[in-house]
Structure 1
Amino acid sequence: MRILALILCLLPSISFAQTKDYRTYDKAVKYNNEGNIEKATKYANKALEKNAEWSKPNLLLASIYADLGDIEESARYMLYVYDEKTPSDVMGIEQIAKLYYSNGYYENALYYFKAAQQLNADVLARKTALFIKNCIFSMDAIRQPVAFNPENLGENINTEMEEYLPALSIEGNTLVFTKRIAEKGYIPQEDFYISTRNEEGIWQEALAYPGTINTARNEGAFSFSADKEIVVYTACNRDDGQGRCDLYLMLNNTAYNAGKIINTKYWESQGCFSPDGKYMYFVSNRPGGYGGKDIWRSEITQKGFLPAVNLGDTINTQYNEMSPFVHPDNLTFYFASDGHTGFGDYDLFVSRRKNTAKEWGLPNNMGYPINTHNTENSLIVAANGKTAYYASDVSGFGKEDIFQFELPENLQAEPLAALEMDIITQKAGEEVILKNVSFASNSYALEQISFAELDKLIAYLKKNPNLQIEIQGHTDDVGNEMDNQILSQQRAKTVFEYLKMKVSNRLSYKGFGESVLLESNSTEKGRKVNRRTSFVIFQ
């Protein structure tokens, strides 16, 4: 009887402890939906006064504190609901791990990911193993930060609007980027803006890109060819589109859909050209890849694009890759991924190759604090190999601004020599003049000054072993025409023989005598210009 009486005495308190005050909780939800966080927090806590273990108010408070950035407080409320030793709570424990992980609390995240694995590894998300690997990597990388000092490009580029996805011309004096325009009464949309750098190195006020490329719809992800003759960009939901988003080409201020070989009924975006103009790289979620979004490339021929080829599992993962950028050295490849080992969301990676006949090598994470638990992507690097540009919302004039920073030495690309710049900016089939190659008067013996220039050409040929070139010799009109023809042939042969000893490329040579003029031979200046050694790329 005494036991029964005790139970009867306890019943009111037990019932009271388990009472759920839905009226108060509903008020908390209402205020939270209205954005009144102070009252939402007040009423959620009030609902817990009658039942501290009630999951709904605890999880509401966890959500509120997560949105406020108070991750520890958010996790505390989640742990009132989920027990790391209770198998049925495995998914909740994983959510706590993800909360810590997505906010850069890697040590705590690692603890709860492992706890969730011990409860029931079979039901966890397929990415959990990667998350654990990323936690271990990130904790170590944060202890070994890389040099990183970003500088805002200033008010001539950045505004209170969003500026992102920068593209830089190869000589580094033209910047094009995407700006999100939000005018009162109109749906926000994206347009391209352009700025040029003056002789003092200052970016001028950005203006809307000229011509017809901007429309009332969205345009994004602009990229030049090395000679700036062709532009590739992304446009979505167009009448002539193959899918949701397509790649478009602009030539002579006229835009064209890139066609069915490039675009599919799926999603194609973020195109960029290789500096030699042989390939276009882009991102697609089409079937046949390794994950969600993969990086593909299509070879460009005189007849157009060839079917796209996936870059393979060295670059692409079972998750997502994006933002491809081939540096002008054609040996360094930057991209973003959420599938390679990193800090959590999209990170920036660099991949290299020995020469253009090789495949891209294993990518390296660019390190902390270039990469963080936030999203990092859309990095481009200037021809000097060390100045990088990217967009960030960490600080600046508006939501997203464009910044520049100097890459740590181990992440830099090779700087372009003047000769290489001349090569990749020439139109197809045009001769490239070897400016510092000279011969003694009426002789085909190379002067000593010539070898430095020829060695630069040798370096370029070694980087591009499949390249085929013809060495060409030219003279002015002084002397006998037949003698000039023979002399030009001998000079071209001398250069050919020096190169042949150093490289395995297919080479040929030809003398043109005085038949191909760049300027009139009527002046000494003109004759000096016409006396030249040059080459033409055939492949």
Structure 2
Amino acid sequence: MRNLILLFVFIPFILFSQTKRDLKKYNKIVDLIEKNELETALSETYKLLEANKEWNKPNLLLSNIYFSKGNFEKGEKYFLKYYSLQSKKNTSAIFQLSQIFYSNGMYNKALKYLLISKDLSETEDKYKRMINNCRFAIYAMENPVEFEYENMGENINTEYSEYLPFISVDGEKFIFTRLLPNFNGELQEDFYFSIQTDSNWILANEMEINTQGNEGSVCISPNGNYLIYTACNRIDSRGRCDLYICVKQKDGSWSEAENLSSINTRYWESQACFSADMKYLYFVSDRRGGYGGDDIWRSEITKFGFSEPKNLGPKINTVYNEMSPFLHPDNLTFYFASEGHTSMGDFDLFISKRSHSDTTWNTPENMGYPINTYKTENSLAVSSDGKTAYFVSDREGFGKEDIFSFELPKNTRAEELSDLELEIISKESGDEIILNNVLFDTDSYMLLGHSFIELNLLLSYLKNNPSVKIHIEGHTDNVGEKDHNLILSENRAKEVFYYLKDRGISSERLSFKGYGESNPIESNNTELGRSKNRRTSFSIVE
């Protein structure tokens, strides 16, 4: 249950003829409530009320005690008794009552008291927002989406808080942030990672990049060569928290982190996310020029580095806070958390989509109940196949915040990516990508029928990414005459070139060459090696 706001903080403390002794008892009960010693507070309040039957204020104490105990029926009863005996009615008190019901998912009750407390000019925007949220929540609970979540278990979650999950494009590595005590007993954020084996995640271990300071919110580029994370209060920091970048070394380790000074400001930057095509970096910041508190921004990645960030605009960002951006590898589906869009609680999870030809995002949609609840839901990550999602919630688990997984409802899924698309995403520009299922008859450059499945996937990718250029390569093993193999490989590459060109891909985006037996990827001394060397491949051209 959420921490409840003590209503007497918001209601004028008007006392009449109470003795100093009674006031002392009253203040003692307030202290007991704040210390969560509720049974003692309850007993003392009834004694105080019995001794002062004309004094209304103890009814408010009883209301708060029962609300804190989770007894909403009695909490409401004693609050209304207190309110009915007040000579001067204060509708802001009723508004506070509605907030208690709202923050505990009792939306019908919350709506009832919101409609009573409508004379609130100073909180009009908040009032209207809560009305809309209650009505949406009631509808969402009456029309739930398919949802069965599962705690990721003790190999991931602990008695501490785990949050901000990240899953690699190949689905084999899972990274998250854990908040736990350091050697001084102070809470500190560090990265932990787990590897998937036999469909299970092994016990999470610390990452090598952890320091004695705080690190949180990690992301790795689709090609696996760059890692960006958030660190706070470092010597070279420009603001409270900054983004830092590491580069993968030849031995597989990460370089020393460098401050992303072209993005960071004197404000707060965190929660970065790469686009699948490596053209943009999305992140969260409370810098000036936004629409609310924390906004989602985007920086273009060029050969010169990271460009001046631009706000994603009012369709995504609100006057409240947005966080945890996650752009799916399909580059068309955007997930994030917001407390400003119509929701059921503090932060809800949202999805926004766009078409291949559009650069703007559609109006975000709440992912629905029971994915979202009156509790806090944030930090969503989605697998490359678009089916499995990982999110963070303070619902019951091992610790304060746990990471859960669930199968996404079909209407909130990203486009499923083919193996070819996943390989393209994970490669650097210029890397060879083998078309494993593009096959030819022996000593022929005529395409076999089942080659068209793979070629159509490549065709679809090129149509959906009109700025991409590719170089097509033909290769053979060393069996036969070298000159003959060179001509054969050239003709096979040319055949793929014309297949794509004849189906609408501009020849300006395509080039081809035959390499014969000159570029083997395996030894030609075995049949297995020779079969791998007989290949058609392509690479992305800058």
**Same fold by TM-score greater than 0.5:** yes
Paired position in structure 2 for 1:538: 541
Letter aligned with residue 152 of structure 2:
L
Paired position in structure 2 for 1:194: 193
Paired position in structure 2 for 1:528: 531
Paired position in structure 2 for 1:511: 513
| Pairing 1:450-465 to 2, within 5 Å after superposition | 450-465=451-466
* CA distance 1:258–1:75, shift in 2 (3 Å): farther
- TM superposition shift of 1:116: 2.0
- TM superposition shift of 1:197: 1.6
C-alpha separation in 2, matches of 1:496 and 1:83: 82
String of CA shifts for 1:252-311, please: whole Å, max 9, x gaps: 322434423211111111111112222211111111111111111111122211111111
Farther-moved stretch of structure 1 (472-481 vs 323-332):
472-481
String of CA shifts for 1:176-211, please: whole Å, max 9, x gaps: 12222226752121211121121x2222122211x2
Paired position in structure 2 for 1:347: 348
Say if 2:244 is the partner of 1:248: yes
* CA distance 1:535–1:86, shift in 2 (3 Å): farther
| Contact kept in structure 1, 2:497 and 2:512, CA below 8 Å | no
Percent identity (aligned): 49
C-alpha separation in 2, matches of 1:330 and 1:41: 56
Letter aligned with residue 521 of structure 2:
L
String of CA shifts for 1:376-409, please: whole Å, max 9, x gaps: 0011111221111123332333333322111122
| Pairing 1:279-318 to 2, within 5 Å after superposition | 279-318=280-319
* CA distance 1:266–1:125, shift in 2 (3 Å): farther
Letter aligned with residue 44 of structure 1:
T
* CA distance 1:18–1:51, shift in 2 (3 Å): farther
C-alpha separation in 2, matches of 1:33 and 1:395: 23
Unaligned runs of 5+ in 2: 1-14, 249-253
Farther-moved stretch of structure 1 (79-88 vs 419-428):
79-88
Paired position in structure 1 for 2:339: 338
Say if 2:246 is the partner of 1:225: no
Farther-moved stretch of structure 1 (49-58 vs 295-304):
49-58
| Contact kept in structure 2, 1:492 and 1:509, CA below 8 Å | no
Paired position in structure 2 for 1:132: 131
Paired position in structure 1 for 2:377: 376
Paired position in structure 2 for 1:108: 109
Say if 2:321 is the partner of 1:325: no
String of CA shifts for 1:80-103, please: whole Å, max 9, x gaps: 454699996232222122111111
C-alpha separation in 2, matches of 1:28 and 1:308: 52
* CA distance 1:52–1:532, shift in 2 (3 Å): farther
| Contact kept in structure 2, 1:284 and 1:295, CA below 8 Å | yes
| Contact kept in structure 1, 2:101 and 2:110, CA below 8 Å | yes
SS in 1 for 2:266: coil
C-alpha separation in 2, matches of 1:294 and 1:142: 28
Say if 2:203 is the partner of 1:205: yes
| Pairing 1:36-51 to 2, within 5 Å after superposition | 36-49=37-50
| Contact kept in structure 1, 2:165 and 2:379, CA below 8 Å | yes
- TM superposition shift of 1:492: 2.5
Say if 2:50 is the partner of 1:67: no
Paired position in structure 2 for 1:402: 403
C-alpha separation in 2, matches of 1:290 and 1:87: 39
| Contact kept in structure 2, 1:19 and 1:50, CA below 8 Å | no
Say if 2:465 is the partner of 1:469: no
Letter aligned with residue 233 of structure 2:
N
C-alpha separation in 2, matches of 1:128 and 1:84: 25
C-alpha separation in 2, matches of 1:443 and 1:124: 77
Letter aligned with residue 511 of structure 1:
K
SS in 2 for 1:368: coil
- TM superposition shift of 1:45: 3.6
Number of corresponding residues: 519
Paired position in structure 2 for 1:277: 278
Letter aligned with residue 488 of structure 1:
S
| Contact kept in structure 2, 1:354 and 1:463, CA below 8 Å | no
C-alpha separation in 1, matches of 2:330 and 2:423: 13
Farther-moved stretch of structure 1 (462-471 vs 373-382):
462-471
Farther-moved stretch of structure 1 (494-503 vs 322-331):
494-503
* CA distance 1:233–1:404, shift in 2 (3 Å): same
- TM superposition shift of 1:357: 5.0
Paired position in structure 1 for 2:162: 163
C-alpha separation in 1, matches of 2:411 and 2:509: 34
C-alpha separation in 2, matches of 1:174 and 1:356: 32
* CA distance 1:275–1:356, shift in 2 (3 Å): farther
C-alpha separation in 2, matches of 1:418 and 1:329: 12
Say if 2:230 is the partner of 1:214: no
* CA distance 1:60–1:372, shift in 2 (3 Å): same
C-alpha separation in 2, matches of 1:476 and 1:538: 25
- TM superposition shift of 1:366: 0.9
Paired position in structure 1 for 2:96: 95
SS in 2 for 1:371: coil
SS in 2 for 1:160: coil
- TM superposition shift of 1:110: 1.5
Letter aligned with residue 190 of structure 1:
E
C-alpha separation in 1, matches of 2:85 and 2:115: 10
Letter aligned with residue 36 of structure 1:
E
Aligned-residue RMSD, C-alpha: 2.7
String of CA shifts for 1:111-143, please: whole Å, max 9, x gaps: 2222222x24x2225222121111111101101
C-alpha separation in 2, matches of 1:250 and 1:520: 35
Unaligned runs of 5+ in 1: 1-15
- TM superposition shift of 1:316: 1.3
SS in 1 for 2:425: helix
Farther-moved stretch of structure 1 (24-33 vs 289-298):
24-33
| Contact kept in structure 1, 2:472 and 2:493, CA below 8 Å | yes
Farther-moved stretch of structure 1 (372-381 vs 82-91):
82-91
Letter aligned with residue 212 of structure 2:
A
| Contact kept in structure 2, 1:272 and 1:324, CA below 8 Å | yes
C-alpha separation in 1, matches of 2:476 and 2:294: 54
C-alpha separation in 2, matches of 1:71 and 1:219: 40
SS in 2 for 1:167: strand
- TM superposition shift of 1:53: 7.4
Paired position in structure 2 for 1:175: 174
